[in-house]
Structure 1
Amino acid sequence: MLTALLALVVIAAMGVTAYRTLKPAETVSSAKKPVPSPEPVKSIQYAELPSAPLIVEGRLRVYTEQRRVFADTPVTAQRLMTPHWAYRRWPAEVVSVVAVEKPASGVGMSVVVTKWSDGEIVALDAEKGDIVWQVRIDPADGETFKGRRTGAKTLYSPEDLFVTTSALDHQQVVIATGKDVVQAIDPVDGKIRWTHSFAATPGCHAVDWTSLDAYFVKDTCAKPATLEVYDAGTGTLLTTWRPPGASIGPDNITNWYLEPTSCQLGRSGCALFKAAPTGDVVSFADAASGIGSITPTYWSLGADHIVKPELVPDKDKVVVVGDVLAEQVVGGYIWAFSRTSGQRLWMSEVSGTLIGADQRNVYLINRDYQLLVLNLVTGAVTSSTELRIRPEDRFVFSELYLHGGYLSVERLHTTNASEIDDRYYFSMNTVVLVGIG
């Protein structure tokens, strides 16, 4: 009898312990110290890190794990520092993270917006780590943490959080998607600016992105598929579009090819998209090699909300800044054109992999693992920075991040994502952070 009673006590104690361990939990570890001022950026290697950072205001590095988002400082620290702040939820997993910096006027605060597998969207004060606002969206099936060991995919290619700007009031907008629904959220206070439900056509709106001031989503259940374009600030449907020649037929015809490109981060702020009236397309490189013949056409949304073809680009890698369009040609060289006149502006004297551009520069990574910085106007090389820590380093890359004068590269042994982490990542400290002076 006594033995049975003791067994019940033990089981009851275990139940209490399990409840305390398994019940949903939210932990905020706020910052205890002020954030230092940003340092002047130099064209040097700054750090090898085990996790991929988002840079905020040039003062903070924000990281993510499966159930935790945290920050350290300064940006130029050579290693991962003790967290400046940390936010943890359990058992939910981090699905997407974006940073929204305060305007150039300095009014307001920068926030880190996090989306979780249970549908919670939580905005954190980027400087202090405190919760600023919290809303919820019905999560899509199967939402999980996809960042693996570094968090790079969750930070650099978020699938259901996008940042854009309202054309009406020029305020920033966060677009969040869930199960057949999209919400536009004011990052300052969490106010829902608009909501659109796709419940009438469930599972048909998974291909989406933002431009500088619009939200694009493809209705794959329409026959043929239809691209819908919404104003980011109001949710007003601006236009619907199909590529010329789109028709009803088998799925590979009806569900024609579509892909955003020249994006600021992930699928946010995309200047262009590629489309073709069929799903059976090949890359420009394959077509040049005689492997297929149907290549996509580049398109953009004009100020009049009319989708227009881009006259210049006919290569696989293209970036756009204002009227300048740079594309990578055979051999890895860069040609830059005026988008309005089609006139070639310059040809680079160096070659590499085109990784992005901003208002000042075009960026390449060459075969010697150097970051090359080319002047946007002239194409002249203005600086180069070594991405190898050791001369013998050899790696490939997929996820990378350009922001605020910094470049972060997730180095890999292979782009075969089915490999285990030890064979997939280049090293334990597999992310290299360099400056662009």
Structure 2
Amino acid sequence: MGTARAGLRRLVSPRSWSRPVRFVLTGLLVLVVTAAMGITAYRTLKPAETVSRADKPVPSPEPIKAIQYSELASAPLIVEGRLRVYAEQWRVFADTPVTAQRINTPHWSYRRWPAEVVSMVEVEKPASGVGMSVVITKWSDGEIVALDAEKGDIVWQTKIEPADGESFKGRRTGAKAVWAPEDLFVSASAVDKQPVVIATGKDVVEGIDPVNGDVRWSRSFAAEPGCRTNDWTSGDAYFAKNTCAKPATLEIYDAASGAPLTTWRPPGASLGSDSVSNWFVEPTSCQLGRSGCALFKAAPTGDVVTYTDAASGVGNITPAYWSFGADHVVKPEPIADKDTVVVVGDVIAQEMTGGYIWAFSRATGKRMWMSEVAGKLIGADQRNVYVINREYQLLVLNLETGAVTSSTELRIRPADRFVFNLYYLHAGYLVIERLQSTKESEIDDRYYFSQDTVVLVGIG
């Protein structure tokens, strides 16, 4: 019996097998393992779309206080004062409440791979409360996906041909993708004020109904490829600079229908070198990124300097400010003559030399007030003008009088010192991406102020 067992052990022992047999069996084993790994990798890495919908209701908005609320690792959009929505390279997700000190477990999330998030905007439901708020995302493969802001469900999907090189440019925080998107804009109809989302792709632009994803209009610029990369929206129009025209031309279209409204060049625009014929234009006083811009500034040449540099003797050609009215006429804004200008209705506020804010009536040109405090002008709304002073405080100035009505400390710790490029004002909150340096070439650890580099405060 023992002899039989020993013989059996020799038979099943690999050492007893001939070399050719071991070679063949080893090869088969490698194939089996490789196939198993391939199946696992495919299941893990295959192109995928994953929705993790909300499993609990969203709380009601909290009363907003003029205080610091949180330090966050990512830059949020705020929806209805109830949700924060973030963008990562392959995922968008929401948490709640807005005032939470840190990013919470996702309320919902949506992931696509290998496509990357390129831009994100939100369209909130009307004041009537009918309908839903949607978060609209554009991806590097051209897919445009609208998500129910409350539940995370996919509301609609459409596609546009992506421009070359579209990718996630949000770095660590996602701020550029959500606060300064370059190919996804929000505007509205001049007639019924219904919102419209405008998406751009490879030499194409489309106006999309945010409620159902219907493409209301589409315009192809394929006959002049690569000529319209400088674009934005006003409250009811889409602007695109055509650099193939000589000299360049600003084309203005109705946001709701895509119909051409007018074309424009700054006075003095002429043929010449590229720096002359491709004259300078830039939107300003925008609601978010390059959406809802009340003004733009332009000059008949590309060789311009800031007003600050001109005052210091560095060049003398500064851009002039212009607006586009309901009569479809581009009009000068002669009062505006500083680097930072914001417009709300008839009020135009600008940051003067030294950081003091002056406000004027656009209709009469008369000065309405001059602030008693100095700082960086960052925005305005129907009630207030917002300034950040050198002591890292958010100052709230009354739009009609300039009186300081509140201040909020932006520093979490007294020793904090930071700079910033991007910030977000919405629904009674200010969110700032704090930086160590404004040089985008710096690595993240030298570029961002800290790991949780985004600070959120209430305006009250």
Normalised to the residue count of structure 2, the TM-score between the two structures is 0.94
Partner Cα distance (2:262, 2:359) in 1: 30
The residue number in structure 2 matching 1:151 is: 174
The residue number in structure 1 matching 2:269 is: 246
* 1:197-346 → structure 2 map (5 Å cutoff): 197-346=220-369
Once the two structures are TM-superposed, the CA of residue 434 in structure 1 deviates from its matched residue by: 0.3
SS of the residue 2:354 aligns to: helix
Q: Which amino acid aligns with 1:59?
A: R
Once the two structures are TM-superposed, the CA of residue 268 in structure 1 deviates from its matched residue by: 0.2
Range with greater deviation from structure 2 (2-11 or 178-187): 2-11
SS of the residue 1:10 aligns to: helix
SS of the residue 1:253 aligns to: helix
- Equivalenced residue count is 437
2:58 is aligned, of 7, 24, 35, to: 35
The residue number in structure 2 matching 1:424 is: 447
Partner Cα distance (1:18, 1:202) in 2: 39
Q: Which amino acid aligns with 2:26?
A: T
The residue number in structure 1 matching 2:379 is: 356
Q: Which amino acid aligns with 1:426?
A: F
Q: Which amino acid aligns with 1:430?
A: T
SS of the residue 1:63 aligns to: strand
Once the two structures are TM-superposed, the CA of residue 11 in structure 1 deviates from its matched residue by: 2.2
The residue number in structure 2 matching 1:183 is: 206
The residue number in structure 2 matching 1:64 is: 87
The residue number in structure 1 matching 2:217 is: 194
Partner Cα distance (1:361, 1:47) in 2: 23
Once the two structures are TM-superposed, the CA of residue 19 in structure 1 deviates from its matched residue by: 2.4
Query: Runs of 5+ in structure 2 lacking a partner?
Result: 1-23
SS of the residue 1:16 aligns to: helix
Q: Is 2:445 the partner of 1:402? A: no
Partner Cα distance (1:78, 1:19) in 2: 38
The residue number in structure 2 matching 1:99 is: 122
Q: Is 2:397 the partner of 1:374? A: yes
Partner Cα distance (2:413, 2:319) in 1: 40
* 1:319-350 deviation per Cα after TM superposition (whole angstroms, max 9, x unaligned): 00000000000100000001111100000000
Once the two structures are TM-superposed, the CA of residue 23 in structure 1 deviates from its matched residue by: 1.8
Partner Cα distance (1:3, 1:40) in 2: 69
Once the two structures are TM-superposed, the CA of residue 302 in structure 1 deviates from its matched residue by: 1.3
Q: Is 2:77 the partner of 1:54? A: yes
* 1:45-99 deviation per Cα after TM superposition (whole angstroms, max 9, x unaligned): 1111111111000000001110000000001111111100000000000000001
Partner Cα distance (1:433, 1:17) in 2: 41
Partner Cα distance (2:272, 2:326) in 1: 33
SS of the residue 1:129 aligns to: coil
Higher radius of gyration, 1 or 2: 2
Partner Cα distance (1:125, 1:347) in 2: 44
Partner Cα distance (1:117, 1:181) in 2: 15
Partner Cα distance (1:62, 1:12) in 2: 39
SS of the residue 1:81 aligns to: coil
Q: Is 2:453 the partner of 1:434? A: no
Range with greater deviation from structure 2 (318-327 or 18-27): 18-27
1:129 is aligned, of 149, 152, 162, to: 152
SS of the residue 1:11 aligns to: helix
SS of the residue 1:108 aligns to: coil
Partner Cα distance (2:342, 2:394) in 1: 17
Normalised to the residue count of structure 1, the TM-score between the two structures is 0.99
2:163 is aligned, of 129, 136, 140, to: 140
Range with greater deviation from structure 2 (14-23 or 84-93): 14-23
Partner Cα distance (2:207, 2:26) in 1: 60
SS of the residue 2:414 aligns to: coil
% identity of equivalent residues: 78
- RMSD of aligned Cα (Å): 0.7
Q: Which amino acid aligns with 1:332?
A: G
The residue number in structure 1 matching 2:187 is: 164
Partner Cα distance (1:109, 1:199) in 2: 35
The residue number in structure 1 matching 2:105 is: 82
Partner Cα distance (1:17, 1:83) in 2: 26
Partner Cα distance (1:12, 1:369) in 2: 59
* 1:350-401 deviation per Cα after TM superposition (whole angstroms, max 9, x unaligned): 0000000000000000000000000000000000000001100000011100
Q: Which amino acid aligns with 1:428?
A: Q
Partner Cα distance (2:37, 2:227) in 1: 46
Partner Cα distance (1:288, 1:3) in 2: 79
The residue number in structure 1 matching 2:409 is: 386
Once the two structures are TM-superposed, the CA of residue 226 in structure 1 deviates from its matched residue by: 0.3
SS of the residue 1:153 aligns to: helix
SS of the residue 1:114 aligns to: strand
Partner Cα distance (1:146, 1:364) in 2: 28
Query: Runs of 5+ in structure 1 lacking a partner?
Result: none
